[in-house]
Amino acid sequence: MKRILSYLLAVLFITVIVTSCQQEENLNQISDTDIQAAENETEMESILEDVDDITFYSLLSATNSRVAEDQDSPLRCAEVTHDHENKTIIIDFGDGCEDRRGRVRKGIIMITYTDHRFIPGAVQIITFNEFYIDGKKIEGLRTRENISESIEDPLKYRITLTNGKVTWEDGSFATREAEWVRTRIRAANPINDQIINEGNASGITRRDQNYTVEITKPIVWKRGCLPALRIFVPVAGIKVKTLGDRVITIDFGDGECDNLYTVTKDGVTVEREFKRNRH
């Protein structure tokens, strides 16, 4: 009887130890669902930044036709049609073309504008026609208004996204409504420009859950990191994504040119590397 009791006590002790270790391990992990939520947010950030980059270069090409031929230009493999009289630009990537970073775009982006991009008060409206980036379909209406105080100041835009939607190749999609302020610190060569985004967004995730996103520390892009190094995410800044009672913090670092970012939830932090899924 004593041997049986000793055996039972030993089993109970081992069970308690294993359970405690599992609970401790769980406390030091972030669920796959939360990781995916952060990865999807990072991917949307990368895709929408690419759209703004295309818009900037398209407007720049209106006064400098050589811009589209630059090896780092996202327009290098697109057909750009500029109707100066009606102030419209059509960027057609055809059935798909690949840029220097290996990013594949296809379909059409259409831009209408009221004035030169540097002029305070100028507005650009961007729409899409079967436009894809790396196999993901982009939809929505983007409005950019120049809110700079003068042409000597850094370019500053108020950007709103209405009915935004990104559809992945498996048919799942996420929606977005957003408003943010985008400041472009210009360099002599646009490839060295620095871009700073502030603002917030909301929508529905690929898992059909409402979310909000707030930029709590300005998101920074360094264009010089993008081409040769194939950097697809910001180099600095912090976002907080809220999904119901779940709060996830995404930190892009302190300025280093890399595809790394950290995800934090309930005091637990893990490092991730953005890996672009090519079509």
Mean pLDDT, rounded, for 60-81: 74
> Does residue 180 fall inside a structural domain?
yes
Instruction: Count structural domains, the chain.
Output: 1
> Does residue 51 fall inside a structural domain?
yes
Mean pLDDT, rounded, for 98-125: 91
> Does residue 9 fall inside a structural domain?
no
156 — pLDDT class (breaks 50, 70, 90): very high
> Does residue 15 fall inside a structural domain?
no
Domain that holds residue 208: 34-273
> Does residue 100 fall inside a structural domain?
yes
Per-residue H/E/C for 56-111: HHHHHCCCCHHHHHCCCCCCCCCEEEEECCCCEEEEECCCCEECCCCCEEEEEEEE
> Does residue 215 fall inside a structural domain?
yes
> Does residue 24 fall inside a structural domain?
no
**Spatial distance between the Cα atoms of 165 and 47, rounded to a whole number of angstroms:** 11
> Does residue 29 fall inside a structural domain?
no
Each residue of 167-216: pLDDT tens digit? 999 999 999 999 999 998 877 776 678 899 999 999 999 999 999 999 99
Each residue of 222-250: pLDDT tens digit? 877 865 557 788 999 999 999 999 999 99
* Residue ranges in the chain assigned as alpha helix (H): 2-27, 32-60
pTM here? 0.82
Q: 51-57 contacts: CB < 8 A, separation 24 or more?
A: 51/109, 51/126, 51/133, 51/138, 51/142, 52/142, 52/144, 52/159, 52/182, 52/195, 53/223, 54/91, 54/105, 54/109, 55/109, 55/111, 55/124, 55/126, 55/142, 55/144, 56/117, 56/184, 56/190, 57/190
Q: Residue 25's pLDDT is what? A: 39
Q: Residue 261's pLDDT is what? A: 95
